[in-house]
Structure 1
Amino acid sequence: MGALSHLRILDLSRVLAGPWASQILADLGAEVIKVEHPDRGDDTRAWGPPWASTDRWTDERQSAYFAGANRNKQSVAVDIAHPQGQEIVKALASGCDVVIENFKVGGLSQYGLDYESLKVTNPAIIYCSITGFGQTGPYAHRPGYDFLIQGMGGLMSVTGHPDGEPGDGPLKVGVALTDILTGLYATVGIMAALAHRDKTGEGQQIDASLLDVQVACLANQAMNYLASGQQPPRLGNAHPNIVPYQDFRTSDGHIIITIGNEAQFARFCEGLGRPEWSTDDRFATNSARLAHRHELISLIQRVIATRTTSEWLDTLETRSVPCGPINDLAAVFADPHVQYRGMRVDFPDGDTSGVSVIASPLRLSASPVEYRSAPPRLGGETRGVLQRLLGFGEEQINNLIRDGIVRA
């Protein structure tokens, strides 16, 4: 029994930010009913190759992208554009604690599935709306996508090589980080709203905006700007406030060095065979190292280039200097620590071919994360949910299937 096994979530979201939030809740035990279009389902089901699995009965393929954000959920395929479909979703919402949706602002009101409509029959409902720009403001009705928001929200302005270096220019992060962070913030907001409801009995709407989240997550870079009025430069893999804190080229690859204090820097210098650097006025403090960044980095690079990555790791790790390799994904999942921590979960064969997913990073001692079910096939639980929660009979469901209102 997971920590949230007393909760039921109605997930009307697609793609990544909303499904990421509902997957976190599902991992923690909540019952998540994912409402999808009967014909195409969540858009990301078709975002392949690569394909994570194939339904053994229908040969329907499921993309790796979809599988990464939709385990532990029940797929109910309903056409919300049809009045009967709308009534089904309304009835499901009346028995749920939380609704998550990422339609355009006002997009669900035409179906009677907006917050104002649903709270009439379920005043305690927590209704989380995820959009690119929020429910209010001059951009509220614009569509918003992760790449777009990384650019508009400032992340790309501080990501990439400095001007004048090979490959210079702004870059997006290699995963849809803004979507992921918005899913995390949405989850925090949902948990806070549930705590408020526990105290007051009141539900509420949560307005989660990708742009808001991206601006908030600029963190120290945004604070550097607010404090100085200066645009933080792109520094490649270097850190704006700490030196040395970047990658260096070894004789056979790269190594990352992350020095966080003066004691670590002293041990690092000893490991390099240059103990005098730690007492040199140019380098003895982090402020001095920032002022002499280019000089110090050039000196370090000359030394690091003389040995292999593994040799430097052996030398520096014995001195408790924070360092590590730059792994590709094969190396990540082959890493003994990653394997020990169980960061890969393999679901056995069922109605679909077996699928492997990335584990949750949450570790709870009393109510651990559960991996109850693989990402669902489209409409795989429609019949069961309609029978169990709404009391529909076989003939009623078969008629809905015949009319194209649901898929089961």
Structure 2
Amino acid sequence: MTDPEERSPGPLAGVVVADFSRVLAGPYCTMLLADLGATVVKVEGPAGDETRHWMPPSHDGEATYYLSINRGKRAITLDFDVPGDLALARSLAHRADVVIANFKPGGLDRFGLDFDSVHAVNPRAVYVSITGFGADSALPGYDVLAQALSGLMSVTGAPEGEPTKAGVAIVDVVTGLHAGLGALAALRHRDATGEGQHVEVNLLSSALSALVNQSGAYAIAGVVPERLGNDHPSVYPYGPFPTADGELVLAVGNDGQFQRLCRVLQIPDAATDPRFLRNADRSTGRAELRPVLVQALAVRPATEWEALLTAAGVPCAPILTMDAAFDRARALGLDPVAHAGDAQVPGVRHPISFSATPPAYPLAPPWPDADREWVRRLLGDPVP
């Protein structure tokens, strides 16, 4: 893909994305679009994307954080305070089908790169703004702040412990997915009407949506959920239980599965106990049911229980480390690793499969300003 006019075979082939985002939510969104064939131009300031410096760990001198969310892109470094660089940035926005930006609200106005300015010149462009807490808030958009303010931390962790953040910047990831969904929906509208529009997503709204049943409990019934550790507020047993040599996660989502669980564990009395017959009974009677299950599970190791329960149709799983998780994915035929570009930089494979237009990985994550001349050719600016 050395020619700007050369298109990938993906479902988004021909869609040009001007990526004025950094860190996680925006770059994750644009990487997924690139995997699907979009031409993504990553614009960085002179200091570069912060994630280039977030290490260890690293791979060939580059932070794995940066590498994990930036494959498939072209990179150009632009200083908006330099007239020539600003002119290139504007030309890119005016050429793009999709503009994605995660500057603070109002941060691009003085450069003529805000939605109104871009729309006036390029009315077909879909402009996606990613903020922390909406267009009226200047609060920095850090994932951990969104986890705190959304209530996510209040429902994560042990009941007797402190509120806990998730082990990954999950709100950024969900917001990136929402940004991509919004961009594609707006492109569909643009293709039907010829008119672009402004799509706005923010971390707090994304977190509240992603909290689904927990946030829904409050919105619908006024119930303020509390931390339950690894337990589920509405389903039981649904979480880790000790065995003879480690923990096994049970996910018993209906009464039939519970009956089969009792049969495999050889606890027939529990299967007929009126306190445990229905899911609602088990949820309210979990303090009485848990010791029965723990005693029964203690006689075999987790691997044996997994085999027996899976054969009986009872959902369960061991708690795996990351290396074991990749091995399990391979054993299931999911092939979790993809290699990008001529350098074959490894990364996690795109999560969506297509029967006709599969994701592709022609470009490795770019070095800073690696594609300035390529971008100028894309914009019709001959390179001496």
| Band the TM-score falls in, shorter-chain normalisation | over 0.9
Corresponding residue for residue 24 of structure 1 = 32
Give the equivalent residue in structure 1 for 2:143: 146
1:230 positional shift: 2.9
Of stretches 380-389 and 355-364 in structure 1, the one that deviates more from structure 2 is: 380-389
- Code of the residue aligned with 1:22 in structure 2: it is T
Query: Aligned partners of 1:305, 1:228: CA distance in 2, in Å?
Result: 39
- How many angstroms apart in 2 are the aligned matches of 1:150 and 1:388? 39
- 1:15 corresponds to: 23
CA shift digits 1:353-406 (9 cap, x unpaired): x53111111001011111111111111111122134232322xxxxxxxxxxxx
Retained in 1: the 8 A contact 2:342–2:362? no
Show the counterpart of 1:33.
41
Q: Tell me the SS of whatever aligns to 1:370.
A: coil
Hey, what does 1:49 align to over in structure 2? 56
Contact 1:133-1:212 at 8 Å conserved across structures: yes
Query: Structure 2: how far apart are the matches of 1:95 and 1:348?
Result: 25
- Decide whether the 8 Å contact of 2:339 with 2:346 is kept in 1: yes
Q: Which residue is equivalent to 2:369?
A: 379
Provide the C-alpha distance between the structure 1 equivalents of 2:357 and 2:87, rounded to a whole number of angstroms: 35
| Amino acid corresponding to residue 41 of structure 1 in structure 2 | G
Which residue number corresponds to residue 119 of structure 1? 119
**Cα distance change on mapping 1:180 and 1:301 into 2, 3 Å:** same
Could you tell me which amino acid in structure 2 is paired with residue 44 of structure 1?
Answer: T
Change (3 A) 1:390 1:186: same
Moved more, 39-48 or 183-192: 39-48
Task: Give SS of 1:195's match.
Answer: helix
* C-alpha distance in 1 between matches for 2:96 and 2:171: 27
- In structure 1, C-alpha distance between the alignment counterparts of 2:30 and 2:223, rounded to whole Å: 39
TM superposition shift of 1:347: 4.0
CA contact (8 A) 1:243 1:290 kept: yes
* Residue matched to 2:215: 222
The answer to whether the 8 Å contact 2:373/2:383 transfers is no
**Contact persistence 1:128–1:208 (CA under 8 A):** yes
Deviations 1:272-320 (A, max 9, x none): 0012312210001011111211110121112112211111112211101
User: Do structure 1's residue 204 and structure 2's residue 202 form an aligned pair?
Assistant: no
Mapping of residues 363-402 of structure 1, within 5 Å: 363-394=353-384
RMSD: 1.4
Q: Which residue of 2 aligns with 1:401?
A: none
Q: Aligned partners of 1:132 and 1:102: how far apart in 2?
A: 9
Q: How much identity, in percent, do the aligned residues show?
A: 41
Q: Is the contact between residue 128 and residue 207 of structure 1 (CA under 8 Å) also seen in structure 2?
A: yes
Which among 141, 152, 168 is matched to residue 155 of structure 1?
Answer: 152
Partner of 2:3: none
The residue type equivalent to 1:150 in the other structure is Q
Written as runs of structure 1 = structure 2, the 5 A alignment for 1:296-375 is 296-335=289-328, 337=330, 340-347=333-340, 350=343, 355-375=345-365
C-alpha deviation, 1:245, in angstroms: 0.5
Partner SS state of residue 144, structure 2: helix
Distance, in Å, in 2 between the alignment partners of 1:159 and 1:152 is 13
Conservation of the 8 A alpha-carbon contact between 1:10 and 1:96: yes
Deviation of 1:223 after TM superposition, in Å, equals 1.9
Partner of 2:105: 105
Aligned residues: 376
Query: Which blocks of at least 5 consecutive residues in structure 2 are unaligned?
Result: 1-8
CA contact (8 A) 2:133 2:205 kept: yes
Q: Does 1:169 align with 2:162?
A: yes
Q: What amino acid is aligned across from residue 10 of structure 1 in structure 2?
A: A
2:341 and 2:362 in contact (8 A); partners too: no
Q: 8 Å contact 2:34–2:73 — kept in the other structure?
A: yes
C-alpha distance in 1 between matches for 2:301 and 2:14: 53
What residue is the counterpart of 2:224 in the other structure? 231
AA aligned opposite 2:117: S
Q: Distance in 1 between matches of 2:154 and 2:103?
A: 28
Task: Report 1:169-318 matches (<5 A).
Answer: 169-318=162-311
Q: Distance in 1 between matches of 2:329 and 2:200?
A: 41
The CA distance in 2 between the partners of 1:100 and 1:339, in whole Å, is 35
Letter in 2 for 1:360: H
CA distance in 2: counterparts of 1:2 and 1:348, whole angstroms: 16
Q: 1:251 deviation in Å?
A: 1.4
Q: 1:20 offset after TM fit, Å? A: 0.8
State the SS of the aligned residue for 1:106.
coil
Q: What TM-score does the superposition give when structure 1 sets the normalisation length?
A: 0.89
Matching residue's letter, 2:56: P
Q: How far off is 1:338 after superposition?
A: 5.6
CA distance in 2, matches of 1:336, 1:15: 27
The offset of 1:349, in angstroms, is: 6.0
Shift of 1:339: 6.7
